[in-house]
Amino acid sequence: MAKAEIHSGICSFITTVKATAISRREVQISIESGCPHIVELAGTLTKIDPLKEVSCRGGITSILDSGLKHCAHAACLVPVGIVKAVEVAAKLALPRDAIQISDESQ
């Protein structure tokens, strides 16, 4: 199982994604969040084919499509965080923190 804790940013919502590989072509996910938009998104995603999610070459993936439909902000990190959790659960990526942002102007 892979677990991702996603701190989205200034909105201060935290989303927890748990992804468990059922088979090579199926990952079951559960999503908990304080964000009402992500709660809606979570209702659309329960079982994912990881091989369809790791590449955008075949068109927009189901996770990113759900993000476009439900997220209120274009820079929301949650959809991509879900993809990373699915990749790790399916052994298609190694776990690692992926982003740190700072304001260098101050």
The CA angle 15-48-12, to the nearest 5 degrees, is: 10
Average pLDDT score over residue span 52-76: 89
Share of the chain above pLDDT 70, in %: 99
106 vs 19, higher pLDDT: 19
Share of the chain above pLDDT 90, in %: 71
pLDDT at residue 13 greater than cutoff 90: yes
Task: Measure Cα distances from 80 to 63, 103, 104, 105 in Å.
Answer: 8, 22, 25, 27
Q: What is the pLDDT of residue 16?
A: 97
Report the CATH architecture of 2-89.
Alpha-Beta Complex (3.90)
Q: What is the pLDDT of residue 105?
A: 80
User: What band does 106 get if pLDDT is binned at 50, 70 and 90?
Assistant: low
Where do the structural domains in the chain lie, given as residue ranges? 2-89
